[in-house]
Amino acid sequence: MATETAKIRKTVVWSAYTVRLASNLQEVLRRHGALDKLRFLLYPSNLTEEDVAQLRREAEGIVWLGKE
């Protein structure tokens, strides 16, 4: 039980970090006029469903890797 709880907690923290990172990267790339030149490669496998949905809505500059 404790192992499963730790795994879920780790996924939630990692997922939230990834959303913040992608958002910050998009902001910087927009500011420098480079959003059409650079991409953020992202595997969705360790993200929460809610965060994947949010990132897909704001997918500018993101290239999704892995199986969908």
Would you say 22 and 55 are in contact if contact means Cβ atoms under 8 Å apart? yes
pLDDT band for 1, please (50, 70, 90 cuts): low
Interval 17-57: pLDDT, tens: 999 999 999 999 999 999 999 999 999 988 999 999 999 99
What the block records as the tokens of 8 is 């879920």
Q: Return d(Cα 32, Cα 41) in angstroms, integer.
A: 19
Q: How many domains does the chain have?
A: 1
- Provide DSSP, the chain: -HHHHHHHHHHHHHHHHHHHHHHHHHHHHHHTT-TTT--EEE--TTS-HHHHHHHHHT-TTEEE-S--
Q: Once rounded to an integer, what is the mean pLDDT over residues 51-66?
A: 95
What the block records as the tokens of 26 is 């998009």
pTM over 0.85: no
Amino acid 67: pLDDT = 73
pLDDT over threshold 80, residue 3: no
Domain that holds residue 52: 2-64
